[in-house]
Structure 1
Amino acid sequence: MSQSQSSNSNIPETDFNLLEDSEDADNHTSGTTATRLSLQFQVDESYLGQRIDQVAAIVWNDFSREKLKQWIKEGNLLVDGQPVKPKYKCEGLEILTLNVELEAQTRSLPEDIPLNIVYEDDDIIVVNKPVGMVVHPGAGNSSGTLVNALLHHYPKSVELARAGLVHRIDKDTSGLLVVAKNLESQFSLSRQLEKKSVYRLYDLVVYGNIIAGGTIDEPIKRHPVDRVKMTVLPGGKDAITHYNVKERFQHFTRIQARLETGRTHQIRVHFSYLGYGLIGDPVYMPRVRMPAGASQLLDDTLRNFKRQALHATTLGLKHPRTKEEMTFHAPWPEDFANLVEVLRTENKAY
């Protein structure tokens, strides 16, 4: 068992899985270099009768179907060592072989941004992301992101979709993320997320008194009116959060939550749905709820806590190459630790 920094808490949110729908990676074998990729996949009977370009798009879904079809036509993707046409239909048990020169998979530019690296080897990087860092470039965030930092730290990540990211956490959520350094690791980690075998534990502080732990099993989808928000609605994607009460205050509760799924804003949405919004959450709890008789210190602390009180404290996974079970821990950042300490002194339970 590998272990890094110890957490402030005494207990064992990709809020969003980037590769939720990835297919089985356990029967891939590969040998990768900086620019050359060699992959094999053993087709089973579940693919019987499907076109080879469709199968390839499922198996290697980091590449577009058009790109895979092009590689089939060029003879870079073989079936049992032989070139075929994209419309070839699988008969079962074939071996697919893909040999290609990788092209840049991202247009983002490398930037010399310091990273808090908890663990790194030839296959994965585990990062403790600070509050305020966007994970992936998007509208209004073309630079200063984790992807930009990764491209500088490990230039070969330009060959991977999303620079090797397999999950992400929100800009103002702190804590642990795992990043793949090669395509084989990206397949493996994506599969682990899809199989719900990645262990993700979050610390959070909510308004109100939660008496006991439990499980929130409510579907989540985009809010029909406010497109910035996600919400619990029938027809949404399955979303499951397990939680335990770790510390009770007079008007607040410190919770530890374990994600079984990884939907956008999952923890924030689920606890808001229960009526226990996270302290500082600008989207789901935009107004500060000040307890009657709050001290000046508590008043100042709550008003100045400008981000959701949420920290990805523990990450557990199986190493893509060695298959070793690994667990990583990240201590609370200063603002979160200070918030809890103020609640302990200024809002302690009776």
Structure 2
Amino acid sequence: MNASPPDEDATELLEAVVPTALAGRRFDQVLAEIFPDFSRSRLSEWIKSGDALLDGRRVKPRDPVRGGEPVTLAVALAVETRAEPEEIPLAVLHEDDEVLVIDKPAGLVVHPGAGNPRGTLVNALLHRDPKLAELPRAGLVHRLDKDTSGVMVVARTLRAHAALVEQLSGREVHRQYVAVVMGPMVAGGTVDAPIGRHPTDRVRMAVVGNGRPAITHYRVRERFRAHTLVECRLETGRTHQIRVHMAHVRHPIVGDPLYARLSLPKGATPELAEMLRGFRRQALHAERLEFEHPASGETVRCQAPIPADMLALLDLLRADTSAAKP
């Protein structure tokens, strides 16, 4: 689906009347009540820029309302994401006017950067729907590491963007991952350990006392001779969270270039040894995503199948486990 390019000068004028029940409230609070589709920070910016008027005049965010005044809001649909559209195939799991849910392949960078100006998910999204340029980060409200595969949701409207950001910050989005970790786990559990930048290696994250709160719940899905397939559920969404937390409990993710070292189990089959040596990415997949639809309020459930490289790894782990049985 290709839409026409966004008009950088496009403006939508929204009008409303302040309910008398809100008399005495601050203008920014009232605006958030009247126009819940937009984030409070964005509404505050529009008040300060004069795009949100109370009774035809500019006021301060803290100014009180009397009730009954007309409110006008000029929503400028400016280009917020500047990147070149590129025709990159996307596996779409769900699509409607408000949201797009995709299955991101391993190896695809999410955002353009100094080292990756092209060939990213943002470039692909702008080709599929050029109007996403009107939204922050082309509608992306969360991210996956380059070498993590799986489900991602993209907002297609300002209303959807604000609603999804609020759900994520309120921990109302269900995010389920699967990972192949080193070592046989006895049982599942919860890792509640703050995450921040590593004190000496700025590329890595680490469990640190002054980090941001981070909680990962995990359970054993399948146990092998020297590895485990775990299911992880995020309660928070910190950078590298599952990778750091699994390494913290001494079960790093297979293939993780930052938090794991190659370890071949004693007596591994030649095929498994070759697979482990050649597995160049963290064996981590965002399998399932559930959220409340921004318009209908219904629950959207999307699941991405485990990718071929992880399936091949799992098959060899099963064969190795069977070969080791007496």
How many angstroms does 1:83 deviate by? 2.0
- Aligned match of 1:102: 77
User: Structure 1's 276 and 77: CA in aligned 2 closer, same or farther, altered over 3 A?
Assistant: same
- Measured in 2, the distance between the counterparts of 1:115 and 1:168 equals 15
Which aligned pairs between 1:193-208 and structure 2 lie closer than 5 A?
Answer: 193-208=168-183
- Summarize the Cα distance change of 1:51–1:123 in structure 2 as closer, same or farther, 3 Å threshold: closer
Alignment of 1:300 onto 2:274: yes
Query: For 1:156, what is the secondary structure of its paired residue?
Result: helix
Aligned to 1:178: 153
Equivalent residue, structure 2, for 1:291 = 265
Q: Any residues of structure 2 matched to 1:54-93 within 5 Å, and which? A: 60=39, 63=42, 69-70=48-49, 72=50, 76-79=51-54, 81-86=55-60, 88-90=62-64
Deviation string 1:168-208 (CA, Å, 9 cap, x unpaired) is 11000000000000100000111111111111100101001
TM-score scaled by length of structure 1: 0.80
SS in structure 1 of the partner of residue 162 of structure 2:
helix
Q: Name the amino acid aligned to 1:98.
A: L
Percent identity for Structure 1 against Structure 2:
45
Letter of the structure 1 residue corresponding to residue 247 of structure 2: S
SS of residue matched to 1:133: coil
| Secondary structure of the corresponding residue to residue 168 of structure 1 | coil
CA distance in 1, matches of 2:197, 2:15: 37
Q: Does 1:341 align with 2:315?
A: yes
Q: CA deviation at 1:219?
A: 0.8
Aligned to 2:91: 116
Match of 2:3 in 1: none
Structure 2 residue corresponding to 1:320, chosen from 279, 294, 308: 294
Q: 2:236 aligns with which of 249, 252, 261?
A: 261
Query: Per the alignment, in what secondary structure is the counterpart of residue 211 of structure 2?
Result: coil
Task: Return the offset for 1:109.
Answer: 1.1
Q: Distance in 1 between matches of 2:57 and 2:101?
A: 39
Q: Distance in 1 between matches of 2:207 and 2:85?
A: 38
2: CA distance between counterparts of 1:343 and 1:183?
A: 45
Gaps of at least 5 residues in structure 2 are 1-5
Question: Judging changes above 3 Å, is the alpha-carbon distance between structure 1 residues 161 and 107 closer, same or farther for their aligned structure 2 residues?
Answer: same
Residues in 1 aligned to 2:301 and 2:141: alpha-carbon distance in whole angstroms: 17
Q: Deviations over 1:191-238 (max 9, x none)?
A: 111111111100101001211111111111111211111111112111
- 1: CA distance between counterparts of 2:179 and 2:257? 15
Partner Cα distance (2:248, 2:269) in 1? 29
C-alpha contact 1:202 1:310 (8 A) present in aligned 2: yes
2:222 to 243, 247, 255: 247
**Residue identity opposite 2:234 in structure 1:** L
User: Alignment RMSD, CA only?
Assistant: 2.9
Match of 2:176, SS state, is strand
Tell me: CA distance 1:272–1:324, structure 2 relative to 1, closer, same or farther (3 Å): same
* Aligned positions, number: 309
For residues 96 and 216 of structure 1, do their structure 2 counterparts lie closer, same or farther at Cα, with a shift above 3 Å needed? farther
- The aligned counterpart of 2:245 is 270
Letter of the structure 1 residue corresponding to residue 287 of structure 2: T
Residues 38 and 252 of structure 1: CA distance in aligned 2, closer, same or farther (over 3 Å): farther
Structure 2 Cα separation of the partners of residues 208 and 268 of structure 1: 15
Structure 2 vs 1, CA of residues 346 and 62 (structure 1 numbering), >3 Å: closer, same or farther? Answer: farther
What residue in structure 1 maps to residue 202 of structure 2? 227
